[in-house]
Structure 1
Amino acid sequence: MDTQPEYSQDQAAAMLGSDPSLLIVDDDGPFLRRLARAMEMRGFSVETAESVAEGIAKSKARPPKYAVCDLRLGDGNGLDVIQAIRENREDTKVIVLTGYGNIATAVTAVKLGALDYLAKPADADDIFHALTQRPGEKADVPENPMSADRVRWEHIQRVYEMCERNVSETARRLNMHRRTLQRILAKRAPK
């Protein structure tokens, strides 16, 4: 992870505004500490949480202006933390980080108010840009579009989420054998 900020302290402060509070929720301790240090160097006032319960408690005690939340945490889903943040402060800019990205969860995160959805390991500058992007700014077009295998996997994941993670119902809707679907779901996403 890049720890040297791309902007000077004055530039970063101007981009962050008067409330630089940032809540980072991730159960990977070393990554959490590195990201917290990198974001402090960029002018944020950082609080950290390593679980859904801790993230919800901190978002209620002091709702942050900015938040970075891992999707899969040891005690649950990071989307619960986003929902709690939204209940306590509507103007929070939220970024979702995950090592298990799929379109269905990205759509859910955006519906809950997340600005962006970044794959781990995310660079500190990428996270800073995502948090400070102005309304109407568009992200750069990816250089490498998804492969056909990835598109298929994303479709299966979307249907699986729509069926509320019911394997039998998902297999029926996709017209595939249940065991085949279970094997596909057990694998990591293709590149």
Structure 2
Amino acid sequence: MSTIEDLLAADPSLLLVDDDAAFLTRLERAMARRGFEVRIAGTVAAGLAAVSERPPAYAVVDLRLEDGNGLDVVSALHQKRPEARAVVLTGYGNIATAVTAVKLGAMDYLSKPADADDVINALLATGEDKPEPPENPMSADRVRWEHIQRVYELCDRNVSETARRLNMHRRTLQRILAKRAPR
């Protein structure tokens, strides 16, 4: 297998698109230390502009951004540079969006929080070898908690509406919301 340096020798350009500034900064530093030439964007519009200006060889794009859907950036990148390798990151993973991301040209679909090694493994994996499973995947309890939090936010933090949509008793939901996130 080739080393990261060998794979990046041809074109190390990487576009990171995420509206979480702290996460974006950490990932930018980590990827730059690993040899990528990193550009960042905090919105779909900025991501589309970066793709239009100079399509990168690699991209890591958050699915849900404040001004739209990150899949628009993946689609634009695939149209401008079909051989580009993109990975979609999200805190709200589901099968339908994973399938859509792959159809639009993404190489992989990772759940947040993903570390730089997980991202590199996904970006550089070839069709023959699958990336290694993450060292510390989210527990089933954490995935459940993330889903409940997402629905709660989508219901404008209305406990009764969230409980109804999740088919759960309101008091049970209140207890879950009062606890800390599981690991």
TM-score with structure 1 setting the length: 0.70
Is the Cα–Cα contact under 8 Å of residues 26 and 51 in structure 1 kept in the other structure? yes
| Secondary structure at 1:48 match in 2 | strand
Summarize the alignment of residues 155-174 of structure 1 with structure 2, pairs less than 5 Å apart. none
Pairing 1:119–2:101 present: no
TM-score with structure 2 setting the length: 0.72
User: Which of 176, 181, 184 does residue 166 from structure 2 map onto?
Assistant: 184
Q: Which residues of structure 2 form unaligned runs of 5+?
A: 148-160, 168-172, 174-182
The AA in structure 2 aligned to 1:26 is D
More off after superposition, 131-140 vs 18-27: 131-140
Structure 1 CA distance for aligned equivalents of residues 37 and 79 of structure 2: 21
- Cα deviation for residue 69 of structure 1 reads 0.1
Pairing 1:31–2:23 present: yes
The AA in structure 1 aligned to 2:115 is D
Summarize the alignment of residues 31-180 of structure 1 with structure 2, pairs less than 5 Å apart. 31-140=23-132
Structure 2 CA distance for aligned equivalents of residues 134 and 98 of structure 1: 22
The AA in structure 1 aligned to 2:106 is A
Structure 2 CA distance for aligned equivalents of residues 114 and 56 of structure 1: 15
Summarize deviations over 1:79-116 as a string: whole Å, max 9, x none: 01111111211011000000000000000000011111
Summarize deviations over 1:137-159 as a string: whole Å, max 9, x none: 12446898x97xx8xxx9xxxxx
Is the Cα–Cα contact under 8 Å of residues 16 and 132 in structure 1 kept in the other structure? no
* % identical equivalent positions: 55
Aligned residues: 152
Q: Which residues of structure 1 form unaligned runs of 5+?
A: 1-9, 155-178
The AA in structure 1 aligned to 2:14 is L
